Structure 1
Amino acid sequence: MAHKSDFQFSIREYKPSDKHEIMSLFCHGILEHVYPAFFKAITNPDHVGIALSISMAGYVLGGSSYFQALLFGSLWAGLIYYCCHDIYNSYMMGRLSTDMADIAANYLEIPSNGFWVAEANVNGQAKVVGMVAVIGKRQEEEEERFDNLNRGVNSTEFAQDASDGSYAQMSHIVVGFAWRRRNLGSQLTRKALDFCKERGFSRLVIDLSSPQTAAISMCQKLGFVQMAMHSNTHANPWFSKVARINVMQMEKLI
């Protein structure tokens, strides 16, 4: 039996026949961040203090009831988990109803966009084990985005773009769990960078949530630099505060 290190990956453009595998990979890749986000939030010192206070209140209100103390503490933990799940689930559902609803039309038919999959040969069968997408954007879109976030980020803080003010955004970079630690995420990112060079983009931007520590580390190793951070997760703002999830925008000059 071959070891995972023996597998060779090939990266190619998305085909409509990949849709079922891509959708499954995408959904699992997004929702798998829920538990790390929950664990990070529940172990935050502030949340630990709140949990202890709520548990103590349950203990007192229940007439020295350990069961009620545990119940109150569990309800607080459940609320944190719900907030973490809603953030990632809302993002997933939003993308499934927009760009992911028709990958061919939204990526392959637009010259400035691209969508690629990574394949591995498993027992003689080609299996999709990774994916990455790139969307070409105008500088004005980014300026408007930061104005809406009201984070005080001036567009002059970013690198100078090409004469048309265009740049590229990378998203949907997912590697199947069993295929990680094989440098596949870096290969997919380099594929996106090569595409950006061909299209004349001067920088590549990616948004990552704070619990995505492995992806953040990979991007840093490839030369991406954090340029901004905000808490706009496109879910209820209160949920983001409870879950303590921030979104980091990183970019790499090309």
Structure 2
Amino acid sequence: MLLSALGQSPNSVWRRYSVSEGALETALIRSGSGPRVPLDRSHPSPTRQGEKLMLASDRWQSPSFRDLVKMAAGGRVGEERPGADRRGPGLIVRPYRPGDFRRVRRIFVDGATELATPAFKRSARAPSNVRLLLASGGTVYTVTASLAWAGLACLAFLALVYLAGRELYAGYVRERLRTDMADIEGHYLKPPGAGFWVAEVEAEEEEEGRVVGTVGAKMSPGDPSSCELSRLSVDRRYRRHGLGARLTRKVLEFARAHGYRVCVLETTDVQEPAIKLYQKLGFCVRSSRPGPAHPILQLLTKVSFCKLELSL
């Protein structure tokens, strides 16, 4: 079993070590503590990696014991940071800092542009596009009497549908990079009732921590009682581990603390996993509308924008 051992140093900074149960027991015995060292197993880790063990702080003052645990763990993994939200080993949610700018924009761009593929798969199955696909292939076959040319016509139509979806999201990204994502501090940190947070992988040794998730919140235009959640995005390598839910809850906690009555957000109907996540957290779909894209792009992609709402 893999355990997360945490010990408190004299300056009250918690240090984390990944260590096997057998290796930790060996360290305890060698230090002369054995089973007398209190191990608190009442706080299970939210991950599947094992349990969290809180080593007695008085024992942690012993340099020899610290060295033994480090040896058993194979080195330091990270340390707690004051004010950080930790609910899983190696990941924290903290307020945005200016040094995060480039990485935050990269996560946003990657998360938005990769939606072109699921948008294509969805729109290619739309009845109206299936009819257009068959019509284009049938027309070319009637004119040329060639199955090869008819097949090429169908492929060309599918390529057009894919490019339409790609352009739809690329246009959205360009617009956001010119507005709020061009000045995150000005849009999310300086205005009252607004905030921006990032999820970060903790630093190893002297290496810089890496941002792997983002979310923002601000007052909804024209409605001071409503908080708008936006820019929720998670690096694809860190998805399906509850990080999106953690970031969303961070915004909900912020909204309640600032007296908002409602939290709203808008997302495309292509993002079905995200919509299910929001609904699981209590959001309800209130309305749906066509996107602001060019009519031809809208015709081919069939993408709609869904507004979700949660009463706080």
1:244 and 1:36 map into 2 onto residues whose CA distance is 12
Q: Report how far residue 234 of structure 1 moved.
A: 2.3
SS of 2:303 mapped into structure 1: coil
2:286 maps to 227
Give the one of 271, 278, 282 matched to 1:212.
271
Q: Which amino acid aligns with 1:67?
A: A
Correspondence 1:166 to 2:248: no
1:84 maps to 165
**Whose Rg is larger?**
2
2:169 and 2:184 map into 1 onto residues whose CA distance is 20
Correspondence 1:130 to 2:221: no
1:147 maps to none
Structure (1/2) with the larger helix percentage: 1
1:79 and 1:189 map into 2 onto residues whose CA distance is 35
SS of 2:135 mapped into structure 1: helix
1:153 maps to none
Correspondence 1:22 to 2:22: no
Distance 1:66 1:123, change over 3 A: farther
1:117 maps to 198
Q: Which amino acid aligns with 2:143?
A: L
2:116 maps to 34
Correspondence 1:251 to 2:251: no
1:68 maps to 149
Q: Report how far residue 107 of structure 1 moved.
A: 1.1
Structure 1 segment 171-182 matched on structure 2, within 5 A: 171-182=230-241
1:235 and 1:245 map into 2 onto residues whose CA distance is 9
2:195 and 2:168 map into 1 onto residues whose CA distance is 26
* Paired residues of 1:134 and 1:170 also in contact (CA < 8 A): yes
Correspondence 1:95 to 2:154: no
Q: Which amino acid aligns with 2:198?
A: V
Question: Where does structure 1 differ by over 2 angstroms across 4 or more consecutive aligned residues?
Answer: 4-8, 121-125
1:52 and 1:234 map into 2 onto residues whose CA distance is 28
* Paired residues of 1:135 and 1:170 also in contact (CA < 8 A): yes
* Paired residues of 1:22 and 1:128 also in contact (CA < 8 A): yes
1:78 and 1:122 map into 2 onto residues whose CA distance is 43
CA RMSD in angstroms comes to 1.8
SS of 1:200 mapped into structure 2: coil
2:245 maps to 186
2:26 maps to none
Instruction: Compute the TM-score of the two structures, normalised by the length of structure 1.
Output: 0.84
Q: Report how far residue 137 of structure 1 moved.
A: 2.2
1:105 maps to 186
Identity of aligned residues (%): 30
Q: Structure 2 stretches of 5 or more lacking a match?
A: 3-17, 19-46, 50-88
Q: Report how far residue 65 of structure 1 moved.
A: 1.3
Q: Report how far residue 76 of structure 1 moved.
A: 1.2
SS of 1:201 mapped into structure 2: coil
Q: Which amino acid aligns with 1:203?
A: V
Q: Report how far residue 18 of structure 1 moved.
A: 0.6
Q: Report how far residue 49 of structure 1 moved.
A: 2.4
CA deviations over 1:137-179 (Å, ceiling 9, x no partner): 24x46xxxxxxxxxxxxxxxxxxxxxxx521111110011010
